[in-house]
Chains A and B, each alone.
Chain A
Amino acid sequence: MDSSNLGCGSTYAFLPNEVLFDILVRLPGKDIGRLRTICQRWRDLTSDPIFIKAHAARHRDQFIAASFRGDREHIHVMDLSGRVVKRLPIRISESKHYLLYSFDLVGLADVDGGCSLIDPVAGATTHLPKMVLKGSTNWEFCYDDDKKELERCVFRAGRVDSTGESKVLRIVCRAYADVDDFDEHHPVSSVLTINGGDGAQWRETRSHPAFLVNMDCMDGGVVVGSTIHFFWSRLYPTATQMQLMRDGVDVDFISSFDLAAEEWTSIPGPRPLDDSKLYSMCYDSSLAELDGYLVVVHHGGETMDLWFLADIGNRLWEKKYSICAESVLQNEVHAKPLLLLDDGRIVIFLGVKGLLLLYDPTTNMVSEMETRCLGKVTPYVGSLLSLQSDAKMV
């Protein structure tokens, strides 16, 4: 670097690169962005992939990726004050259902059973092989009797931690299999490994869900590590099962697919201390992932209880939060905790209103995050710098 550029002979600007690296890598991603306007040397240093990698390893910032309602052309990544820090282009036609698996992976489903994956960062689309469905792929639950004979399917994508492979799980079942015809219309699952090419094929899995699972687009299928968990469908439990549970028998109502072993297992959910809540636990609950744990979200009227699967081997559930905010949570059957923040607060998504709440367990208060009305949401945890280096703002 030419010393004439450095002003009046200050020693500061001569700090060796490795020292400047050590200083700058400690700063938050947003500060680094601003510092790139200081001078070319600082910009080059902080734009270097080695710097970005070192920064990503040390900064785990928390963001929310979301689509705004009415905008099917962008995915936005927001910080916790609701400010958009990245906007990615995407185009989702009105006829398709879509899900955000993560900010860089969007699943699209056609009405006729096709599914494709979009990576908005790379701008790439992968079409998965189609299957012929009787009827339509409707990811939303609707209670239309006419559709009884139709089939529906759900897609979920996840990553195998040990190998880094991405896989998609597909479950197909009759639109309204009820318990009487469950044996005849058992859900059938298949899995596909995304290999980046076109040759990927669906493989029917060795085992299948032991019961009818919730295939709703909001609540169906929660990924924790390399496992996708499903709560049972509210159409499924019978009076006999409820009686068994009241008698103290543990009935399985969570069905889980291990993406690495490609096998299904099932486990019982939490048991409320008060047996009168048993019914609502089985019917008014959904699943979520928080802090790497599988969580049963029990919408119990006045409160929303969060049960963490503290010990998966011993099937030990622990009620960690009881969120008392009836006025806010009213009519929000889809209220879903999204992210446990480093400061202990929890971000909750209200799917009906399309807004985010911040819940502070120390005060038991909720506040609303200022955002536009949200469609689909998913958390993103990582470095703002690596997020920005993936693609320019558009």
Chain B
Amino acid sequence: MEVDKGKGEAEETRKVAEADRDTVTLKSSDGKLFEVSKEAAARLSTVLAGMIAGGSIDDNGTDLKQIGSEALENVVDYCNKHANSIPSAALISSSISFNTAPFKEPEEWERKFVDRLSHDALFDLVEAANFLGMERLLDVTCHKISEMMKGKSPDQIREVFNIKNDYTKEELEEIRQELAWAFYDD
């Protein structure tokens, strides 16, 4: 009886502790677990905020099958860094694409955060940010990728982005003529 009671109390205590936990555990597609501040996750990701509010967070690790461990590590790293930096009001009310809001310049630490990433890691991160509805991180990563494109020739961009030119020679010639205004100093 006593043992059972003790066990019951321990169970109770554990549950309370879990409800009060200030972190959530996320699981990558390859099964790795990451802990992230609940407050930061809810603030920075609309998808995680919905899951936390809807109680669909799994204490043993919420499955994020679309995100690999490297990208998830970067997401978590970003959230934790963000939790430690002062949140600006602009981040909360902002919205993405198909609108006319001006872009918010990345802050210095955010710039450094994406600058250290390889191309692969950056592209995986932008997809993860899109999947998790992380507006601010999406802004920062899209900004970085657009910076990478500036001043590059179409050939260089095809190489960096690994895109195959699907125009015929004739089509390309026609398009080039239509787009003469974009190529006048070549």
Contacts of A36 in B (CB 8 A): 175, 179, 182
A393 partner residues in chain B, CB cutoff 8 A: 178, 180-181
Residues of A30-53 at the interface with B, using a CB-CB cut-off of 8 Å, are 30-40, 42-43, 50
Looking at the assembled complex, report how far the CB atom of B126 sits from the nearest CB atom of chain A, in whole angstroms: 6
User: Secondary structure at chain B's binding surface: helix, strand, loop or mixed?
Assistant: helix
The distance in angstroms between the C-alpha atoms of A346 and B46, with both chains bound, is 45
Q: List 27 A-B contacts (CB under 8 A).
A: A6-B163, A7-B164, A12-B123, A12-B162, A13-B161, A15-B123, A15-B126, A18-B98, A22-B96, A23-B149, A26-B143, A27-B150, A32-B182, A33-B181, A33-B183, A34-B153, A34-B183, A36-B175, A37-B167, A38-B165, A39-B158, A39-B163, A43-B175, A54-B99, A58-B103, A388-B181, A393-B178
With contacts A26-B142, A27-B146 taken as known, whether A10 is within 8 angstroms of B175 at the C-beta atoms is: no
> What distance in Å separates the Cβ of A388 from its nearest Cβ neighbour in chain B?
6
Q: Which residues in A have their C-beta under 8 angstroms from that of B164? A: 5-7, 39
**Contact across chains for A83 and B184 when beta carbons are under 8 A apart:** yes
| A interface, over-half SS | helix
A13→B181 contact, CB < 8 A:
no
Known: A26-B143, A35-B154. 15 other contacts (CB 8 A): A10-B163, A12-B163, A19-B138, A21-B97, A22-B97, A22-B142, A25-B97, A26-B103, A32-B182, A34-B183, A35-B157, A39-B158, A40-B166, A43-B175, A384-B181
A33 to B182, alpha carbons, bound, how many Å?
Answer: 5
Instruction: Let me know if A7 and B100 touch, CB within 8 A.
Output: no
Chain B residues, CB < 8 A from A86: 181
Residues of A contacting B39 with CB < 8 Å? none
Minimum C-beta distance from B93 to chain A (A): 18
Interface residues on chain B, number (Cβ under 8 Å) = 45
Q: Does B127 contact A (CB under 8 A)?
A: yes
Range of interface residues on A (Cβ < 8 Å): 35 or more
Q: Are A39 and B165 in contact (CB under 8 A)?
A: yes
Closest 3 CB pairs of A and B: A33-B182, A10-B162, A57-B100
Q: Are B100 and A38 in contact (CB under 8 A)?
A: no
Closest partner residue, chain B, to A26 (CB atom): B146
* Bound: A30/B9 CA distance, A: 68
> Shortest Cβ distance from A44 into chain B, in angstroms?
11
Known A13-B161, A16-B127, A57-B100: A33·B146 in contact at CB below 8 Å:
no
Residue A8 interfacial (CB < 8 Å): yes
**Of residues 124 to 145 in B, which have CB atoms within 8 Å of A's CB atoms?**
124, 126-127, 130, 138-139, 142-143, 145
Closest B residue to A30 by beta carbon equals B182
Q: Given contacts A35-B154, A57-B100, are A85 and B162 in contact (CB under 8 A)? A: no
Give every chain B residue within 8 A of A35 (Cβ-Cβ). Answer: 149, 154, 157
B67-121 interface with A by 8 A CB criterion: 96-100, 102-103, 119-120
**B10 CB within 8 Å of chain A:** no
Contact residues in A for B130 (Cβ distance below 8 Å)? 16, 18-19
The complex places the Cα of A392 from the Cα of B142 at a distance, in Å, of 30
Q: A7-B163, A13-B163, A34-B179 are in contact. Are A54 and B98 (CB under 8 A)?
A: yes
Report Cα–Cα, A11/B128, bound state, in Å. 12
Does A24 touch B at the CB level, under 8 Å? yes
Most buried by B among A21, A37, A54, A85: A37
Kindly state whether residue B7 has any CB partner on chain A within 8 Å: no
Q: Which residue of B lies closest to A14 (CB)?
A: B127
